[in-house]
Amino acid sequence: MNDRSGILKNSPLKYALASVRFAPLALLPNQIPEIHGRLRETLPLLQQVQQQIQIVGLMAPNFPQASHAWLIMSSDRSLGAQIGTEQILFFTTTYKRFTDFQTLILQCLEVLFDVVKFLDITAVGVRYVDRFKAGDSEELSNYMSPSFLTPRVSSFEPAGGLSQYAYRINDERLAVRFAYTAGIPSIPVDLMGLIATIQGPAQPLQIKALEEKEMLLDMDASRNFLIPQRVNSVVEIDKLLDSLHKRANAFFRHDEVFTEHAFSVWKGEKHVA
């Protein structure tokens, strides 16, 4: 078995995200200038955005309400954080290793904690979005375990698939989504708005469709708290996110998910035309 650890030279990873949800911070809008001012050297860009929150009541219609958030980014828009009154979402499009991404997360959280003192967290998550395509002389089965691909049925030819699986380890959950039907969007629908905002007006988002023998893999590791958990330090959240990263990474590198051939290609040991 080849070594699956380390940085993948031809990594299929497109987006990495991490999030922390918490009880509402009513005073946060007034504190954004201070927060951004202290992060401006690394994340100089600031943009106010709106998030749509669906208010669902047992006896009431569903009226969406706009919630303000602030997007702070690096000059090249490759990494940043979206800060809202109930969530902070971190992202990067140039992910190499988690420790690098962790540096951004900790830097932002340390400033946030210094301003708001503590958070009552309701959920944490780490999400990875990968996309890859089999070569002309290959099939997706050269990369994936057959158990994650469309089952074969006599007289029918597989033409793609869309599936989702859920896993659990103690209090942590892992949702894994596979999409490999030509013609569907190559970006998760719920991330389109964020990605469009990240790219900015100079580079309008053009959503390409998946091609034949191309796969979108969306892994979301999370932990929810039915009762908000009071945390007083960045260290506590860092441990939670690090654990979720390890769950998702272990799944991705598991020998029952992707093949030896896949990792040979992604590590740059094998060329595929």
In the chain, the percentage of residues whose pLDDT exceeds 90 is 80
CA distance 82 to 73: 9
* Residues listed for the chain: 273
pLDDT at 33: 96
Look at residue 273 and tell me if it is in a domain. Answer: no
The answer to whether the CB of 112 falls within 8 A of the CB of 238 is no
Cβ neighbours for 156, distance < 8 A, ≥ 6 positions apart: none
Q: Which phi-psi region, left, alpha or beta, contains residue 260 (left: φ > 0; alpha: ψ -120 to 50)?
A: alpha
Look at residue 271 and tell me if it is in a domain. Answer: no
Residue 186 identity: S
Look at residue 272 and tell me if it is in a domain. Answer: no
Backbone angles phi, psi at 210, to 5 degrees: -60, 145
Look at residue 208 and tell me if it is in a domain. Answer: yes
Look at residue 66 and tell me if it is in a domain. Answer: yes
Q: Give the tokens for residue 220.
A: 């979301």
Number of domains in the chain: 1
pLDDT at 9: 92
Per-residue three-class SS string for the chain: CCCCCCCCCCCCEEEEEEEEEECCCCCHHHHHHHHHHHHCCCCCEEEEEEEEEEECCCCCCCEEEEEEEEEEECCCCCEEEEEECCEEEEEECCCCCHHHHHHHHHHHHHHHHHHHCCEEEEEEEEEEEEEEECCCCCCHHHCECHHHCCCCECCECCCCCEEEEEEEECCEEEEEEEECCCCCECCCHHHHHHHHHHHCCCCCCCCCECCCCEEEEEEEEEEEEEEEEEECCHHHHHHHHHHHHHHHHHHHCCCCCECHHHHHHHCCCCCCC
Packing angle of the helix pair 98-116, 234-252 (nearest 10 deg): 150
Identify which of 252, 162, 249 has the alpha carbon closest to the alpha carbon of residue 214: 162
User: What are the residue ranges in the chain where pLDDT is below 70?
Assistant: 1, 51-66, 270-273
CA distance 67 to 83: 11
Look at residue 41 and tell me if it is in a domain. Answer: yes
Q: What is the pTM of this model?
A: 0.91
- pLDDT tens digits for range 193-227: 889 888 887 777 888 999 999 999 999 999 999 99
Look at residue 36 and tell me if it is in a domain. Answer: yes
Q: What residues does 64 pair with on adjacent strands?
A: 54
Look at residue 250 and tell me if it is in a domain. Answer: yes
CA distance 65 to 62: 10
Domain assignment of residue 39, given as a range: 13-266
